[in-house]
């Protein structure tokens, strides 16, 4: 797997806000995060992508100091997290997948409690809470948090993560359980937070969620870094290295399973009368021959230039089966 990892060098003149140096966490000898090296610049909106079990949450828990690495280290704003837990806590805001609140308190009361834990004075708390409730669109809501919808809870979770004016905000699967309006609200708020100069780290298993809000990303698989860089760098590296091709096939009767070794993935639809095949080379002739041999009439067979999503799905498929 080491050979597959593509590391794109960053410009060194920009300050690094998040740094992982050979970060490793093992559970019973099995690596959940394996020798991860990652640089995230100050002000970047960065996506941590990977299928379930890839090691995203474990990486985040080490970055916020909730668990300690087995080997290697991670740094926030040049502070080693394991050695400076209090200083790091003051620099980061963290939103887990399920944020906990006091159900019988209002949003304002919940945020006031969090702000007090950071030692913020009364005037500062009032000002910050008013700003954040306006930012997340909860400024005129009087009811207790126990009566909130999922989307409202998520927006309040963002406000809670931002209460201490962090330099870095870390969000673990922020759009899980959200409806489309909730996702749109979340994107708008994250955009505004990023515009104000906060470094944002978002983990997700959904490519489109990350590609729409982040300027750069890393893909993890089985605890290891597969690739990292800006979207342009990732797409260029991926197409340059793989030359994947997407082939659309439509037939008049259901298709068999294809067994060409060049195939990376096949997605069937319309009762297997349509297939989207991602392959390492143009295998249209082979597919046509295989269908003909089965007596299946072809309605359409065409190749398509790889989209960004195809490129990333190919990483997923390759890494997931290794």
Question: Which residue is it, tokens 């009811």?
Answer: 143
Q: Which stretch binds ligand ADP (CB under 6 A): 46-54, 85-93, 129-137, 210-218?
A: 46-54
The strand pair at 71-76 and 16-27 is best described as antiparallel
**Minimal distance, residue 52 CB to ligand ADP, in Å:** 4
Interacting residue with ligand ADP among 23, 36, 39, 55 (CB under 6 A) = 55
Stretch that binds ligand ADP, among 50-58, 94-102, 245-253, 296-304 (CB under 6 A): 50-58
The least CB distance from residue 57 to ligand ADP, in Å, is 3
The region of 34-42, 56-64, 70-78, 266-274 touching ligand ADP under the rule CB under 6 A is 56-64
Minimum CB distance to ligand ADP smaller for 201 or for 296 = 201
Number of other residues whose CB lies within 10 A of the CB of residue 99:
18
**Which residues, listed in sequence order, are joined to residue 277 by a DSSP beta bridge?**
247, 266
Nearest to 95 by CA among 52, 64, 59, 62: 64
What angle separates helix 308-321 from helix 231-242, to the nearest 10 degrees? 60
Binding ligand ADP by CB under 6 A: which of 41, 57, 244, 246? 57
Q: Residues 2, 3, 9, 27: which binds ligand ADP (CB under 6 A)?
A: 27
Verify binding: residue 58, ligand ADP, rule CB under 6 A: yes
- The answer to the question of residue 29 lying near ligand ADP (CB under 6 A) is no
Q: Residues 149-168, buried b or exposed e (16+ Cβ, 10 A)?
A: eebbbbbbbbbbbbbbbbbb
Which lies closer to ligand ADP via its Cβ, residue 60 or residue 296? Answer: 60
Binds ligand ADP (CB under 6 A): choice among 16, 20, 23, 32: 32
- Minimum Å gap between C-beta 55 and ligand ADP is 4
Helices (H), the chain: 56-63, 85-91, 107-117, 122-135, 150-161, 180-195, 207-213, 231-242, 284-293, 308-321
Q: Cβ 66 to ligand ADP, closest distance in Å?
A: 11
Q: Which of 245, 233, 216 is nearest to 314 (CA)?
A: 245
23 is a site residue for ligand ADP (CB under 6 A): no
Computed from CA positions of residues 264, 298, 296, 293, in that sequence, does the dihedral angle turn out positive or negative?
Answer: negative
- For ligand ADP, the closer CB: 46 or 148: 46
Q: By three-state DSSP, how is residue 146 classified?
A: helix
Q: Name which of 49 and 247 has its Cβ closer to ligand ADP.
A: 49
By beta-carbon proximity to ligand ADP, the closer residue of 43 and 53 is 53
How many binding residues for ligand ADP (CB under 6 A)? Answer: 10
Tokens of residue 177, six digits: 């359980």
Q: Is 151 in the site for ligand ADP (CB under 6 A)?
A: no
The Cα 64–Cα 42 span in angstroms is 17
Q: Which is nearer to ligand ADP, 27 or 293 (CB)?
A: 27
Q: Does 47 sit near ligand ADP (CB under 6 A)?
A: no
Give the H/E segment covering residue 67: none
Side by side, the strands of the sheet bearing 245-251 are 263-269, 274-279, 245-251, 298-304
Give how far the C-alpha of residue 223 lies from the chain's centroid of Cα atoms, to the nearest Å: 14
Kindly indicate which of the ranges 51-59, 136-144, 185-193, 250-258 contains the residues binding ligand ADP, using the contact rule CB under 6 A: 51-59
> Quick one: which of 9, 11, 13, 52 contacts ligand ADP (CB under 6 A)?
52
Q: What span, in angstroms and rounded, lies between the C-alpha atoms of 23 and 83?
A: 14
DSSP state of 82: G
Site for ligand ADP, rule CB under 6 A: 27, 32, 50, 52-58
């Amino acid at each position: 797997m080491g050979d597959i990892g593509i590391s794109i060098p960053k410009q060194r003149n920009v300050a690094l806000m998040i740094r992982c140096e050979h970060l490793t966490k093992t559970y019973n000898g099995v690596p959940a995060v394996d020798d991860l090296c990652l640089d995230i610049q100050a002000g970047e909106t960065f996506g941590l992508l990977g299928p379930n079990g890839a090691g995203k949450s474990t990486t985040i828990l080490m970055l916020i100091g909730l668990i300690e690495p087995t080997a290697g280290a991670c740094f926030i704003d040049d502070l080693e997290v394991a050695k400076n837990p209090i200083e790091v806590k003051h620099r980061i805001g963290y939103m887990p997948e399920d944020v906990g609140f006091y159900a019988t308190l209002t949003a304002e009361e919940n945020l006031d409690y969090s702000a007090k834990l950071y030692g913020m004075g009364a005037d500062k708390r009032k000002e910050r809470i008013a700003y954040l409730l306006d930012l997340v669109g909860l400024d005129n809501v009087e009811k207790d948090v126990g009566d909130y919808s999922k989307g409202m809870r998520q927006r309040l979770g963002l406000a809670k993560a931002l209460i201490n004016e962090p330099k870095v905000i870390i969000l673990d699967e922020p759009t899980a359980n959200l409806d489309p309006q909730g996702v749109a609200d979340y994107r708008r708020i994250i955009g505004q937070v990023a515009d104000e100069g906060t470094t944002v780290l978002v983990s997700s298993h959904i490519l489109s969620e990350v590609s729409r809000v982040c300027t750069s990303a890393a893909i993890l698989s089985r605890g290891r870094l597969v690739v990292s860089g800006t979207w342009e760098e990732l797409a260029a590296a991926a197409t340059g290295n793989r030359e994947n091709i997407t082939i659309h096939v439509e037939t008049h009767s259901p298709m068999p399973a294809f067994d060409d070794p060049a195939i990376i993935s096949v997605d069937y639809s319309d009762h297997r009368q349509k297939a989207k095949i991602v392959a390492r080379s143009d295998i249209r002739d082979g597919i046509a021959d295989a269908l003909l041999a089965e007596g299946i009439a072809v309605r359409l067979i065409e190749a398509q230039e790889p989209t960004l999503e195809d490129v990333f799905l190919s990483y997923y498929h390759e890494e997931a089966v290794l």
